[in-house]
Structure 1
Amino acid sequence: MQVFLESGSGILMIILMVAVGYVLADRGWFTEDSTKLIARLVTQIALPPYTISSITNDFSKGKLLHMLPDLRYPVLSMLILYALSILIVRLIKVKPNHKGLFESMFFNSNTVFVVLPSSMPILMKQVFILQSCMPVMTNAPVVSKMYKADANFSSIMVTETTLLSLAIVPIMMLIISHLAL
């Protein structure tokens, strides 16, 4: 039960953030200019220091050096998922204007923000399994808006994958925890 609660808490936080954004947008809080400003603030101001802060607070030099060899598994997972995304794009005939966005969302997940912090007791070799179950990066709509891609499509994909991961991630964590025993 603890596995479900730990993995579900990060996903519920994402759902809450999406819901707040949706309600604020529905009430007219954002104009076209404000969404461009938010996209730039998130990607160019907030995200870089957040990432640096997370790494420096959660990992020591020794811990990072110790984990370095095992990072090949998440990287390998991303490469496999990227290759798979190219195949799926061709099989299901994704619209040309959604192709790059779909491929990017297929292998870019919230692993760094949700799975890694909650899976530190789990071996790094198991992280790549969870990585493939994670929702699409929650900042995908922001980045899409910034680079004039289809932000509505990416918003729908974030919402769908987040809701799906609410069930899939806890099940996979349960399976992995039993395999580790």
Structure 2
Amino acid sequence: MAVFFQSIQGVLVILVMIAIGYSLASAKWFTDKSGQIIARIVTQVALPMYMVNTITQDFTKDELGRLLPDIKFPIISMLVLFAISVAFARVLAIRKNRRGLFQSMFFNSNTVFVGLPINMALFGTKSLPYVLVYYMINTTFFWTLGTYLIQRDGEGEWRFDIKTTLAKVFSPPLLGFVLGVLLVVFRIQLPTFIASDLQYVGSLTVPLSMFFIGIAVQRAGLRNLKVNKYSLGILFGRFILAPMVMFLLLWKADVPILMKQVFILQSAMPVMTNAPVVASLYGADADYAAIMVTESTILSLIVVPILMTIIN
């Protein structure tokens, strides 16, 4: 029961910040472009600096070296979930122009805007390497297989652009993580003023991420939330099947308990925020994607305390 209440406290920290973002959006403090600007600040400025600062301050070369073999768990998990999503789409008779989007949202999770703040609130900075390992694999899957599936739903033929895909995969947060690792490996000490700047700007990551979610929920509109086979299939995949698959993969594995907890939580995060953007870009059903981002984000705040109680 103590774990449950601790998880509730961690989620409430996140929920209050989301509520502030939602309230400010309702009060018209933010324009239609504000969410995009905040997302860019987080992903291209604050989060990369947060990665460099945290990795260099809190981790050693040996600790980071032990992470590399762990990437197999999210890889296997997402491949299994993708296979299940294909079967689910057929069983639920998801219409053809939504099938790829359904599958993409089924096996990809929101590892940064929701996953990072929740893990930081529950476990602190020690969880960051595991969060980043999962993020790295999740991002790669989304911008390759996930994007292909969404684009297939839209108009025109799908074309694989390796330059664009690599630019998405090797995003600023991942490059920040890599830079932090290199600084630790080669024992390079940053000047004090740079370290301070990294810390100050990086600390914007969590609150701005939550403001972004609050704005997104307000824009999607709570009245538009629906319960049907399209939404239930995604929610079942995100919050039941995904953590179950990860739990089974890690059950007998000789890995740290913290890694197990972080990977299971990351697997059970809501639908990836980029899904509506990519759907809109390729003429797929962006409204469906936006509704699923909102529904799954709200529901995740209930699921996380329950999941934390189960895995402890």
- The TM-score range, normalised by the shorter chain, is 0.5 to 0.7
Q: Specify the SS of the correspondent of 1:29.
A: coil
Percent identity reads: 36
Shift of 1:30: 1.4
Counterpart mapping for 1:92-171 below 5 A: 92=92, 93=94, 96=97, 99-100=100-101, 103-104=104-105, 106-110=107-111, 111=115, 113-115=117-119, 118=123, 122=257, 124-125=259-260, 127-132=262-267, 134-136=268-270, 140-141=272-273, 143-144=274-275, 147=278, 148=280, 149-150=286-287, 152-153=290-291, 154-167=293-306, 169-171=307-309
Amino acid in the other structure paired with 2:97: P
Q: Normalising by structure 1, what TM-score?
A: 0.68
Contact 1:4-1:170 at 8 Å conserved across structures: yes
In the other structure, the counterpart of 2:187 is none
RMSD: 3.4
In the other structure, the counterpart of 1:38 is 38
Shift of 1:31: 1.1
Q: What is the rounded CA distance, in whole Å, between the counterparts of 2:84 and 2:56 in structure 1?
A: 33
Output one character per residue of 1:43-62: Cα deviation in whole Å (capped at 9) or x when no partner. Answer: 22222222333333443221
Contact 1:115-1:127 at 8 Å conserved across structures: yes
Q: Specify the SS of the correspondent of 1:56.
A: helix
Contact 1:10-1:114 at 8 Å conserved across structures: yes
Residue number among 169, 172, 176 corresponding to 2:310 in the alignment: 172
Q: What is the rounded CA distance, in whole Å, between the counterparts of 1:16 and 1:95 in structure 2?
A: 39
Contact 1:89-1:103 at 8 Å conserved across structures: no
Q: What is the rounded CA distance, in whole Å, between the counterparts of 1:51 and 1:104 in structure 2?
A: 26
1:85 aligns to 2:85 (yes or no): yes
Q: What is the rounded CA distance, in whole Å, between the counterparts of 2:119 and 2:14 in structure 1?
A: 13
Segments of 5+ residues of structure 1 without an aligned counterpart are: 175-181
Deviates more, 1:47-56 or 1:95-104: 95-104
Shift of 1:65: 0.8
Amino acid in the other structure paired with 1:65: G
Shift of 1:99: 4.3
Q: What is the rounded CA distance, in whole Å, between the counterparts of 1:101 and 1:39 in structure 2?
A: 24
Q: Specify the SS of the correspondent of 1:32.
A: coil
Shift of 1:126: 5.8
Q: What is the rounded CA distance, in whole Å, between the counterparts of 1:107 and 1:136 in structure 2?
A: 8
Q: Normalising by structure 2, what TM-score?
A: 0.44
Segments of 5+ residues of structure 2 without an aligned counterpart are: 128-255, 281-285
Output one character per residue of 1:47-94: Cα deviation in whole Å (capped at 9) or x when no partner. Answer: 222233333344322101123223322332233233333433443327
